[in-house]
Amino acid sequence: MRGPDEFRHFHAELSGVRLHYVREGTGRPLFLLHGWPGFWWEWHRNIGALAAHHDVIVPDMRGFGDSEKPPLERIDLYHVNRALEDIVELMDRLGVGSACFAGHDYGGVLLHKLLRRHPERVAAAAILNPMVPGFDERYLGTDNLHESWYALFHTLDMAPALVGSSREACRIYLRHFLEHWSADPEAFDDAMVEVYVDTFMQPGNLRGGFNFYRAEPAWDAIDHTICQRRVLFLQALCDPCAPAQWSDLVTRWYTDFALEYVEAAGHFPMVERPDFVNRRLAAFFREQR
């Protein structure tokens, strides 16, 4: 395991937020976009391998990790559309005209939006365990509340105070998702879990992440349009958060795509099956020239 201190860290002063990112490698730029519960480090098993082919850039979204937390009471500042524009502005600051992208969870939502709002900035796109329009209705439906309860809990004022009431409370909460959403409950060992706890116990990080749930709805009219760009979707077969059977929703919004299933993986295929994910991403991006 490469610890967070074993990577090169940078910050960019954007117009509305100071964004943290990790950068490694040379070649064609590749952005890796994280989700919840996560931050840049959820890609720690992929950065080195992909840096052999790419200039890999892995940002923390606003409110997460070591990125700045805009006023936490301003829920509107945490809408995914704000995070999307942060990525575009970060590209501008780094002099990157277009790049390859891989997104997971909220990062996949950002990439769905980026393909429609700024298609010229996307040279190639891959989305892990896709969440697209229509996903919300299924996920938050009454038949699925045993899985989606946390999304409602995150909208409560008391949520960050309860989860952050002690380091042990935070550990119990995060470990539930890291274990329950993984095909192998031991995919995240104690040392890995502590990295997550260290990060989310930093001031503002719990509420910053929870604010994304409070700033819903995620989708706008432009998100309900058809994308004709070729996109790779990697769908894990054992993800209770984004079930494999819901990948049928992809066909509503994409006309040219590859949908591949990842065996023995849950919600975190880049952690659970890093070698497979690294090979498929590298090969797909190589093909999309």
Q: Looking at the annotation, which residues are catalytic?
A: 105, 213, 267
Q: How many CB atoms lie within 10 A of CB 3?
A: 11
CA dist list (Å): 151 to 47, 209, 211: 29, 11, 11
Buried/exposed 12-32: b ≥16 CB within 10 Å, e otherwise:
bebeebebbbbbbbeebbbbb
